């Protein structure tokens, strides 16, 4: 339900822009013509296309990301050369980090002159990767290009980069060095890339924006082809001025399709579009931790270690390692990832206070098996989020991470949301300590016999006998009838069996080549078979309308046309029983999405799997 702001096909963009290529360049510093990015590989688009290729909650493509949980963010660019301070001609000092050019109103030529002295000769990729590993951070996301447009690799699209505009050794490539060190250490490497570009002269005018976009696509292809990143972390997608940023939902949808055409394994964040639940693979709450699991999409909380992303020599307001550890446990217990930032100085060195705090976090994670509360762990609906810490589940272990250890003999109460037995309990790192587990009220009382193991957090590992699960189903999916109108009028034009309800048609797709991208309707019918006797939360992500019934009773009614939207309803289901389900979905104009997810105390959020859906 979005009017089309600026519809263009990538092929159109490539076609139109390649003709313009000879008239563009970067007049600020370049005289050479940028090398044209070769036309991208053909990708599917148009009616019949579903851009949702898997369920990010369970797919092999995202498995490493959901397992690793904890990453290192690195903000490093030409701004780092100023180390957070700019002395104006009048002698006054202006302070900022990665936004220093804009916030301190540094003239282009002054900023370019200082960038020409940038020489991060001290950048040691092996040391950076070691700092991440010592911290227990299992992936790295480094700024390849921030808002100032300065590329940290030898891009062929312009001369505003670390190879062509710096005092740095022209034979070095820090992204290649980091990629090599990360691969050697088994650490995944991703790149941050700002869509908003303060430097490219073609960015701010809609008439010339396609020329910028062609260079942006070219740079992203360079990064994918040249460094094989596991992840792209977009930013700068919001509406802004100076220069005007009119990045649209259509632009984001086109870019995401282009990138997955280059590398189907790539993981992309929601800022590729406009941070909607349907954009990219994960949401990006910043400097905050959601109070509970996020509906409809994976998520990653990104944070600074002090108060700045880029290096600021005066900023000594460091988070404690205990705060880092507790944040990480809260994030993991709510099913998210934690991307914690370092800002190297102008020499390329990570500040020692950052290294010290990160190393302490890594010590905690690597001690007594406490990392089990994070790596491969996630949200459990079996218990309520406690006031004394966080609980995460990994297999049949619940990790109760206690940040407020009780007085001797006093219990920790754990509210349960489904019946399960606790078969053993131990304090990690204190093998002789006993933990009394007593049924109490709406759950259990956990009473440790001794002191906390660690002031940051101590972990009580509960091994449980989980609620009984019915055998996995044998379903093949739901019957899907589609009409070439949005009122279910006349006979359906297409009837198929859909293995799952996981559709991102976006702006150009539809259920079938004969169904137009706008004004269609689909009805799914059949039955849904839960594996647990529990109250399930059914979640839809829809654009434009959706209504859902279970056993003939309405569970979701979101019939007012809308943009990408999450709706939820609860229903008590019986393990192994086939409950009838009907979903009525309509697409009016513009963007189109429909996903059906479920969760329960025993079942973390996922697209309802095929084997639990039956056509009849």
- Who's near 19: CB < 8 A, 6+ residues apart? none
Q: How far is the CB of 589 from ligand FHN (least distance, A)?
A: 31
Taking the CA atoms of residue 17, residue 19, residue 23 and residue 28 in that order, the dihedral angle to the nearest 10 degrees is: 20
Longest Cα pair distance anywhere in the chain, in angstroms?
78
Of 394, 318, 306, 341, nearest in space to 137 by CA? 341
* Cβ distance to ligand FHN smaller for residue 132 or 142: 142
Q: How far is the CB of 81 from ligand FHN (least distance, A)?
A: 16
Q: How far is the CB of 302 from ligand FHN (least distance, A)?
A: 5
Applying CB under 6 A, does 309 fall inside the site for ligand FHN? yes
Q: How far is the CB of 569 from ligand FHN (least distance, A)?
A: 33
Near ligand FHN in 78-107, by CB under 6 A:
98-99
Convert residues 270-289 into a mask of x (bound to ligand FHN by CB under 6 A) and - (unbound).
Answer: ----------------x---
* Cβ distance to ligand FHN smaller for residue 318 or 388: 318
Which of 1, 104, 178, 302 contacts ligand FHN by CB under 6 A? 302
Applying CB under 6 A, does 315 fall inside the site for ligand FHN? no
* Cβ distance to ligand FHN smaller for residue 235 or 251: 235
* H helix runs in 337-462, sequence order: 352-365
* Cβ distance to ligand FHN smaller for residue 109 or 288: 288
Q: How far is the CB of 338 from ligand FHN (least distance, A)?
A: 13
Applying CB under 6 A, does 150 fall inside the site for ligand FHN? no
Distance from C-alpha of 267 to C-alpha of 280, rounded to nearest angstrom? 8
Near ligand FHN in 350-409, by CB under 6 A:
none
Q: How far is the CB of 530 from ligand FHN (least distance, A)?
A: 38
Report which secondary-structure segment, H or E, holds 179: helix 174-185
Distance from C-alpha of 75 to C-alpha of 158, rounded to nearest angstrom? 21
Convert residues 521-550 into a mask of x (bound to ligand FHN by CB under 6 A) and - (unbound).
Answer: ------------------------------
* Cβ distance to ligand FHN smaller for residue 286 or 465: 286
* Cβ distance to ligand FHN smaller for residue 142 or 528: 142
Convert residues 41-80 into a mask of x (bound to ligand FHN by CB under 6 A) and - (unbound).
Answer: ----------------------------------------
Q: Determine the 3-state secondary structure of 350 from DSSP.
A: coil
- 307-311-314 Cα angle (round to 5): 65
* Cβ distance to ligand FHN smaller for residue 98 or 512: 98
Residue with tokens 């296309």: 49
Of 616, 598, 615, 613, nearest in space to 529 by CA? 613
* Cβ distance to ligand FHN smaller for residue 64 or 99: 99
Q: How far is the CB of 352 from ligand FHN (least distance, A)?
A: 22
- Who's near 63: CB < 8 A, 6+ residues apart? none
3-state DSSP percent of the chain in helix, strand and coil, to 5: 20, 30, 50
Q: How far is the CB of 102 from ligand FHN (least distance, A)?
A: 10
* Cβ distance to ligand FHN smaller for residue 131 or 302: 302
The CA–CA distances, whole Å, from 535 to 135, 158, 335, 556, 598 equal 39, 56, 20, 15, 10
Q: 24-50: buried (b, 16+ CB within 10 Å) or exposed (e) per residue?
A: bbbebbbeeebebbeebeebebebbbb
* Cβ distance to ligand FHN smaller for residue 144 or 266: 144
Distance from C-alpha of 46 to C-alpha of 507, rounded to nearest angstrom? 9
Cβ atoms 373, 315 nearer than 8 A: no
Long-range Cβ contacts of 352-356 (<8 Å, 24+ apart):
353/305, 353/306, 353/316, 353/318, 354/131, 354/305, 354/306, 354/318, 355/131, 355/134, 356/321
Cβ atoms 552, 519 nearer than 8 A: no
Q: How far is the CB of 121 from ligand FHN (least distance, A)?
A: 24
Applying CB under 6 A, does 235 fall inside the site for ligand FHN? yes
Residues binding ligand FHN: what is the number (CB under 6 A)? Answer: 6
Q: How far is the CB of 286 from ligand FHN (least distance, A)?
A: 5
Q: How far is the CB of 212 from ligand FHN (least distance, A)?
A: 18
Of 442, 366, 457, nearest in space to 403 by CA? 457
Q: How many residues does the chain have?
A: 616
Q: How far is the CB of 287 from ligand FHN (least distance, A)?
A: 8
* Cβ distance to ligand FHN smaller for residue 100 or 494: 100
Neighbours of 576 (CB within 10 A): 14
Cβ atoms 338, 72 nearer than 8 A: no
Q: How far is the CB of 221 from ligand FHN (least distance, A)?
A: 22
Q: How far is the CB of 236 from ligand FHN (least distance, A)?
A: 7
Applying CB under 6 A, does 498 fall inside the site for ligand FHN? no
Is the link from the previous residue into 145 a cis peptide, with omega within 30 of 0? no
* Cβ distance to ligand FHN smaller for residue 99 or 388: 99
* Cβ distance to ligand FHN smaller for residue 74 or 597: 74
Report which secondary-structure segment, H or E, holds 290: none
* Cβ distance to ligand FHN smaller for residue 169 or 286: 286
Which residues contribute to the site for ligand FHN (CB under 6 A)?
A: 98-99, 235, 286, 302, 309
């Amino acid at each position: 339900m979005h009017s089309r702001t600026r519809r263009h096909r990538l092929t159109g963009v490539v076609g139109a822009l390649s003709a313009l290529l000879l008239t563009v360049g970067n007049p600020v510093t370049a005289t050479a013509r940028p090398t044209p990015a070769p036309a991208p590989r053909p990708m599917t688009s148009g009616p019949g296309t579903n851009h949702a290729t898997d369920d990010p909650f369970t797919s092999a493509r995202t498995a490493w990301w959901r397992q690793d949980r904890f990453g290192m963010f690195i903000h490093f660019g030409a701004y780092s050369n100023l180390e957070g301070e700019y002395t104006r001609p009048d002698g006054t000092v202006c302070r900022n980090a990665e936004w220093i050019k804009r916030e301190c109103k540094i003239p282009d030529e002054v900023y370019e002159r200082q960038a020409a002295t940038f020489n991060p000769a001290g950048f040691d990729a092996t040391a950076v990767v070691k700092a991440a590993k010592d911290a227990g951070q299992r992936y790295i996301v480094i700024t390849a290009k921030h808002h100032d447009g300065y590329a940290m690799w030898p891009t062929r699209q312009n001369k505003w980069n670390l190879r062509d505009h710096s005092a740095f050794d022209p034979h070095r490539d820090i992204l290649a060095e980091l990629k090599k060190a990360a691969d050697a250490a088994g650490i995944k490497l991703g790149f941050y890339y700002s869509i908003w570009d303060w430097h490219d002269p073609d960015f701010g005018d809609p008439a010339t924006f396609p020329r910028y976009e062609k260079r942006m696509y070219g740079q992203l292809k360079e990064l994918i082809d040249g460094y094989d990143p596991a992840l792209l972390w977009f930013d700068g997608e919001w509406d802004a001025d100076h220069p005007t940023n009119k990045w649209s939902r259509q632009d984001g949808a086109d870019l995401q399709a282009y990138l997955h055409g280059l590398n189907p394994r790539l993981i992309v964040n929601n800022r590729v579009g406009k941070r909607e639940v349907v954009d990219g693979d994960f949401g990006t709450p910043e400097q905050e931790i959601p109070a509970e699991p996020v509906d409809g999409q994976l998520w990653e909380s990104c944070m600074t270690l002090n108060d700045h992303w880029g290096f600021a020599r005066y900023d000594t307001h460091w988070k404690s390692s205990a705060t880092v550890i507790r944040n990480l446990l809260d994030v993991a217990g709510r099913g998210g990832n934690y991307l914690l930032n370092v800002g190297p100085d102008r020499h390329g060195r990570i500040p020692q206070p950052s290294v010290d705090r990160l190393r302490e976090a890594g010590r905690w994670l690597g001690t007594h098996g406490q990392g089990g509360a994070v790596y491969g762990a996630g949200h459990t609906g079996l218990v309520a989020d406690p006031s004394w810490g966080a609980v995460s589940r990994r297999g049949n272990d619940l990790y109760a991470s206690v940040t407020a250890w009780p007085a001797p003999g006093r219990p920790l109460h754990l509210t349960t949301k489904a019946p399960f037995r606790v078969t053993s309990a131990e304090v990690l790192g204190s093998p002789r300590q006993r933990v009394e587990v007593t049924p109490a009220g709406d759950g259990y009382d956990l009473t440790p016999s001794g002191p906390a193991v660690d002031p940051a957090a101590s972990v009580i590992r509960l091994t449980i006998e989980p609620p009984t699960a019915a055998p996995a189903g044998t379903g093949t999916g739901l019957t899907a009838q589609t009409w070439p109108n949005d009122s279910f009028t006349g006979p359906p034009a297409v009837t198929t069996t859909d293995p799952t309800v996981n559709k991102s048609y976006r702006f150009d797709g539809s259920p079938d080549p004969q169904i137009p991208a706008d004004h269609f309707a689909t009805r799914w019918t059949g039955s849904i078979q839960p594996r647990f006797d529990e109250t399930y939360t059914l979640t839809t992500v829809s654009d434009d309308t959706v209504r859902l019934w279970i056993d003939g009773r309405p569970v979701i009614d979101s019939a007012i046309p809308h943009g990408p939207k999450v709706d939820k309803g609860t229903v008590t289901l019986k393990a192994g029983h086939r409950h009838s389900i009907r979903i009525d979905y309509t697409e009016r104009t513009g963007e189109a999405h429909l996903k059906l997810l479920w969760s329960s105390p025993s079942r973390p959020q996922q697209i309802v799997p095929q084997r639990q859906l039956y056509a009849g």
